[in-house]
Amino acid sequence: MSQIDIRRAHALPLKDARSKVERIATAIAARFDLEWGWEGNVLRFRRSGVEGEIAVAAKAIHVRARLGFLLFAIRPAVEREIHRVMDEEFS
């Protein structure tokens, strides 16, 4: 299994950061057939071959994902897309 671990600082109120993360999850779920839900301030997501979480804190976002063997080869593309979306939403 391949791991992705990305941390990003933000200056938004917690409520606004959660809203942005939820908007990202909704868009990704529609595109990639992910299931997701909140557990406190942690959004957990899952689909075949991928599982992870996005933890929202007062000043940071922490994305962790585990890619199954079949998705290992596209890990760099997945990381680039996560960085792109985070730049778009949290810059």
Domains of the chain: 2-90 (3.30.310.50)
Place of tokens 């922490």: 62
Question: In this model, does residue 28 exceed pLDDT 90?
Answer: no
Confidence of residue 73 (pLDDT cuts 50, 70, 90): confident
What does the alpha-carbon distance between residue 7 and residue 63 come to, in Å, rounded to a whole number? 6
Owner of token pair 């057939």: 33
For residue 46, list its beta bridge partners. 35, 51
Q: Give CA separation, 30 vs 1, 15, 73, 91, in Å.
A: 24, 23, 22, 24
CB 66, CB 49: distance < 8 Å: no
pLDDT bracket for residue 89 (50, 70, 90): confident
Q: How far apart are CA 72 and CA 20, in angstroms?
A: 27
Question: Hunting for tokens 């200056």 — which residue is that?
Answer: 11
Q: Is the whole-model pTM more than 0.85?
A: yes
